[in-house]
Amino acid sequence: MTTPESADLQAEFAREVEQGYTHCILEVSSHALAQERVHGCRFAVAIFTNLTHDHLDYHKTMERYQAAKRKLFEKLDAAATAVVNADDPAAAAMLEAARGKRLTFGVTQAAAGRPDAARSGSHLTIEGLDIQAREMRLRLDGTEVRTPLIGRHNAYNIAAAYQCALALGIGPSVIKLGIEAVKVIPGRQEEVVCGQPFRVIVDFAHSPDSLAQIVETYREFTAGRLILVFGCPGDRDPSKRPIMGEIAARLADLAIVTTDDPYYENPEQIIEDVAAGCPARRVNWQAVPDRKAAIEMALGHAGSGDTVLLVGRGHEKYQDFAGEKVPFDDKLVAEGFLTKRP
List, for residues 255-308, the tens digit of each pLDDT value: 999 999 999 999 999 999 999 888 766 678 899 999 999 999 999 999 999 999
**Exposure class string for 191-200: b at 16+ Cβ within 10 A, else e:** ebeeebebbb
Q: Residue 189: its pLDDT value, please?
A: 96
| Beta strands per DSSP E along 114-245 | 121-131, 136-140, 143-147, 190-191, 199-203, 226-230
Q: What is the dihedral of CA 24, 26, 32, 33, to 10 degrees?
A: 80
What ranges do the domains of the chain cover? 42-181, 190-340
Is beta strand 136-140 parallel, antiparallel or unpaired with respect to 121-131?
Answer: antiparallel
CA distance 251 to 270: 21
CATH architecture of the domain covering 42-181: 3-Layer(aba) Sandwich (3.40)
Same CATH fold assignment for domains 42-181 and 190-340: no
B/e letters for 81-103, b = 16+ CB within 10 Å, e = fewer, are: bbbbbbbbebbebbbebbebbbb
pTM (whole model) above 0.85: yes
Query: CA-CA distance, 175 to 181, in Å (whole number)?
Result: 10
DSSP string, 209-227: HHHHHHHHHHHTT-SS-EE
| Per-residue pLDDT at 112 | 46
Contact 270, 235 (CB under 8 A): no
Residues of the chain with pLDDT under 50: 112-113, 115, 117-119
Strand partners, 188: 185
CATH 3.30.360.10 fits 190-340, yes or no: no
